[in-house]
A and B are shown apart, each in its own frame.
Chain A
Amino acid sequence: MSHVGLEHFLVVGAILFTLGIVCVLTRRNAVAVLIGIELILNAAGLNLIAFSRYGGQSLEGSVFVLFIIVLAAAEAAVALALILAIQRRLKTVDVDRTDSLKG
């Protein structure tokens, strides 16, 4: 199969998304959760750029992806800062134990 088509991208995106979800749901380390989120974002970005390439040849998908990358960077910065603060305060980054907001 020499030709790489839209389906391939979508499959890779779906795998990436699934891995991200699983990572987010199962990992207990907050940094790992953050990594899972990055995976999900990138899966979404991959889908968007794929549809952009094989779809209407328009630039919207590329622009969206650029925004997502910027957003991911900003999100990573904020999230890491939060994690650092949690670590300082609670001496842990285990998301199962940071349950102070439990009702």
Chain B
Amino acid sequence: MGENTFPLWLIPFLPLVGAFINGAFGYRLQRRFGEPVISAIGVSLPWISFILAAIGFVKLQGLPEGQAVISQLWTWVEVGEFKVDMAFAMDPLSAMMALAVTFVGSLIHIYSIGYMHKDDGYWRFFCYMNLFMFAMLTLVLADNLLLMFVGWEGVGLCSYLLIGFWYKDLNNAKAGMKAFVVNRIGDFGFLIGFFILFWSLGGEWSEAGYRTTGAFSLHFGSLPAMIDSMATKTLWGVPAPTLVGIFFFIGAAGKSAQIPLYIWLPDAMAGPTPVSALIHAATMVTAGVYMVARMNFLYVLTPTAMTVVALVGAVTALFAATIGCFQYDIKKVLAYSTVSQLGFMFIGVGVGAYWAGTYHLLTHAFFKACLFLCAGSVILAMHHEQDMRKMGGLGKPMPLTRWTYWIACVAIAGFPVASGFFSKDEILWQAFNTDALLIPGWIPWLLGFVAAGLTSFYMWRSYFMTFTGKTPEVHGHEPEEQRPAVTGVLVILAIGAILASFLGLPHLWMHIPSAIQQFLSPVFGAAANLKTAGYGHGTEWLLMIASVGVATLGLGIAWWLYRGRTSTIPERVLKTFPRIHKVVYNKYYVDEAYQATAIRGFLGLSRLSAWFDFKIVDGMVNGAGTITRAFAWIDGAIDTYIVDGIVNLVAQTVKAIGARLRRTQTGRLPTYLAGLVIGVIVLIVLTRFLSDVYG
């Protein structure tokens, strides 16, 4: 299927080349030629990837529907009849993702030129960023699950490297470690799901190796056809698709920061801001959503897994939004906002509205990247101050940052002029209208609806706190607008956040399915048969108006409480309910709870293991050593005292005899002569005597 001529593999490969050059020679290049060379390599290659992705996209458009551009490199794994290829494929879903990743990613690379200026690790930063692009594009363009997992792990590694980028600060290193460990827990779930999928797809071991029943691969194109056969299999009494779906979702929850594995993402803000924008907002964290959308043919088989995904997404969306309302660190607000928005995406993919979920992924990539980069711009202007309470009035000196932030806020809060509204509202409507879950659709809808209102509130709160009111002085200067490399990117992203709307103008308005829905429909064909509750246009209009209403309400409250930063109401409210505020401000003590339960438990377990290792395992080894030594000692004794003893005894005896005999050797002539004479006499006597006896 598809054609073989387009070198899709170049798209991930080019950033890898960049990563290699900057990683291997970057230090010297930077010292010799300065930063421009590093950024020229680090920025140009992702752009070339973007152009290639765009060409691939055009090629894809030329293909008949349902086909994909495929670039097959070589056979990677071959065991019996089971085969995994090193192959990349571009279908509408991966095309959309690849374009978003390369475009937003490349923009953020440009932004980084300004942001990372004069950082010692400039080359290292671009090396990691390019490496990340490589891993993410591998994940997105992979043609099979196994290769996707390579990218999946790769982005986790880059995330770790970049969170701990300023590793000299222990907290950053800790945050990186936390992200990595939490991701590993998710990956563990992913792998288990992987194994169960593998098992349930059939095949058995025999003398000849792994023998499959019929055609068998992990290739995305052929998986849907095979998946029906696994629907009947059960493991521990649970249908295999459900188990696989839930375990895959654990992986997705780790990567995409859903309850209960979301805790790493807020801490990940320790990394440089472009990293937060690229990895922890626009691309990597959406990998989980992408994966669930990619495996849509699996999820539609299992209402249980769909319910889990949708419900966890909805709860996360609300939960993170409540925390976001009370944070003061601007990046923390955005981080919880990201967690919350990812929750929305999971509602989308959970209720079977895969295109809506991925559409939100796309729009989110634009407006959240924009928000983060604006925050980065603000942080630079404030000389690395992130506390919003110390900001305010930055709108006047930084108009470009302010207005781009404003546009992104409009988009995320859900006003029907920018992209966020269209994607989020479509998700909420699809959630309300679904009947494919085990629970009625209004439950995730309600959770999402409240979360949407809170989103509007906390985003406008951050806007008003940052950009309105009195302008502070930082180190005696007025904060200044950033360089064009920074602001230009902001403008492009803000425009993107608006333009992305046109991809998803709702069915209700245009009377045709939106462009993105049509575009993605070949990939999500399996979802077409899901049951809906069948609410009419009237309900949809009503919900839409309610969404706008709740967004406006959020804006209104934020306006009332925070505009101009003169109102004292927030503080008084907080003082009235100090306990609630404390609990929410401290993120519901989830980290502490994990610390007390899981982490302490694991530490205890590892200590127990260490004890076991030292005392029992080492004890056995040492015991064996001691016994050997005892045997060796006995053997040595035998050797020394018996074997050597005999030899020595002979020698000693000879020596003793010699010692006695040497006395006769006086060295004095008379003695010898006397001996001679006596000997002669004895001989004579003896001769006589003997001749007498025998004679």
Contact (Cβ within 8 A) A103 B662: yes
B628-666 contact mask (Cβ, 8 Å, vs A): 1 or 0: 000000000000000000000000000000000111111
Bound complex: CA A102 to CA B662 (Å): 8
Q: Mark B660-680, 1 if CB is under 8 A from A, else 0.
A: 011111111110011001000
Q: Provide the bound-state CA to CA distance between A39 and B567, in Å.
A: 150
Which A residues touch B666, using CB under 8 A? Answer: 99, 102-103
Which residues of A, 53-82, contact B by the 8 Å Cβ criterion? none
* Nearest CB of chain A from residue B656's CB, rounded to whole Å: 15
Please state if A101 and B665 are interface contacts (CB–CB under 8 Å): yes
What chain B residues lie within 8 Å of A101 (beta carbons)? 665, 667
Given the known interface contacts A21-B677, A25-B677, the answer about A100 and B670 at a Cβ–Cβ threshold of 8 Å is: no
B673 touches A24 (CB 8 A): yes
Q: Are B667 and A103 in contact (CB under 8 A)?
A: yes
A16 at the binding interface (Cβ < 8 Å) = no
Q: Which residues of A contact B670 (CB under 8 A)?
A: 24-26, 28, 95-96
Residues of chain A within 8 A (CB-CB) of B661 are: 103
A11 and B674 CA atoms in complex are apart in Å by: 23
| Distance between B313 CB and nearest chain A CB, rounded to angstroms | 107
Q: Mark A24-40, 1 if CB is under 8 A from B, else 0.
A: 11101010010000000
Shortest B97–chain A CB gap in Å is 104
For residue B674, which residue of chain A has the nearest CB?
A25
Q: How far is the CA of A21 from the CA of B669 in the complex (A)?
A: 13
Closest CB-CB distance, A80 to chain B, in whole Å? 15
Identify the closest chain A residue to B662 (Cβ): A103
Instruction: Give Cα A25–Cα B673 distance, bound, in whole angstroms.
Output: 7
Q: Quote the shortest CB–CB distance from A44 to chain B (angstroms).
A: 13
**With a CB–CB cut-off of 8 A, which chain A residues contact B667?**
98-103
B-contact bits for A1-27, CB 8 A (1 contact / 0 none): 000000000000000000001001110
Contacts of A28 in B (CB 8 A): 670
Interface majority SS (helix, strand, loop, mixed), chain B:
helix
Q: Which residue of A lies closest to B680 (CB)?
A: A21
CA distance A101 to B674 in the complex (A): 17
Q: Are B663 and A99 in contact (CB under 8 A)?
A: no
Kindly identify which residue among B663, B664, B665, B669 contacts A33, using a CB–CB cutoff of 8 Å: B669
CB distance from B693 to the nearest CB of A (A): 27
Tell me the bound Cα distance from A98 to B207 in angstroms: 95
B392 to chain A, nearest CB (A): 114
B677 surroundings in chain A (CB, below 8 A): 21, 25
User: Are B668 and A102 in contact, CB atoms less than 8 angstroms apart?
Assistant: yes
Query: Measured between alpha carbons, how far is A25 from B664 in the docked complex, in Å?
Result: 17
In the bound assembly, the distance between CA atoms of A28 and B664 in angstroms comes to: 19
List A contacts of B674 (CB < 8 A): 25
- B664:A95 contact, CB within 8 angstroms: no
Q: B residues within 8 A CB of A26?
A: 670
In the complex, the answer to whether A99 meets B668 with C-beta atoms within 8 Å is yes
Q: B residues within 8 A CB of A96?
A: 668, 670
User: CB-CB < 8 A to B669: which residues of A?
Assistant: 30, 33, 95, 98
Q: Is the CB of A103 within 8 A of B665?
A: yes
Query: Contacting B665 at CB < 8 Å: which of A24, A95, A102?
Result: A102
Q: Whole-angstrom distance between the alpha carbons of A41 and B218 in the complex?
A: 120
Instruction: Using A21-B677, A25-B677 as known contacts, say yes or no to A103 and B663 having CB atoms under 8 A apart.
Output: yes
Question: CB-CB < 8 A to B665: which residues of A?
Answer: 101-103
B residues 59-95 near A (Cβ < 8 Å) are none
CB under 8 Å from chain A, chain B span 104-153: none
The residues of A that contact B663 with a CB separation of less than 8 Å are 103
CB of A36, distance to nearest CB on chain B (Å): 9
Q: Is the CB of A103 within 8 A of B664?
A: yes
Residue of B nearest to A99 (CB): B667
Nearest neighbor of A102 in chain B, beta-carbon distance: B667
B668 neighbours in A (Cβ, 8 Å): 95-96, 98-99, 102
Rounded to whole Å, the gap between the CB of B666 and the closest CB of chain A is: 6
CA distance A96 to B662 in the complex (A): 17
Closest CB-CB distance, B684 to chain A, in whole Å? 13
Chain B residues, Cβ within 8 Å of A30: 669
Can you list 30 A-B contacts with CB-CB less than 8 angstroms, sorted by A residue number? A21-B677, A24-B670, A24-B673, A25-B670, A25-B673, A25-B674, A26-B670, A28-B670, A30-B669, A33-B669, A95-B668, A95-B669, A96-B668, A96-B670, A98-B667, A98-B668, A98-B669, A99-B666, A99-B667, A99-B668, A100-B667, A101-B665, A101-B667, A102-B665, A102-B666, A102-B667, A103-B661, A103-B662, A103-B665, A103-B667
Closest 7 CB pairs of A and B: A103-B665, A102-B667, A99-B667, A103-B662, A101-B667, A95-B669, A99-B668
Extra contacts besides A25-B674, A96-B668, A99-B666 (20): CB < 8 Å: A21-B677, A25-B670, A25-B677, A26-B670, A30-B669, A33-B669, A33-B673, A95-B669, A95-B670, A98-B667, A98-B668, A99-B667, A99-B668, A101-B665, A101-B667, A102-B666, A102-B667, A103-B664, A103-B665, A103-B666
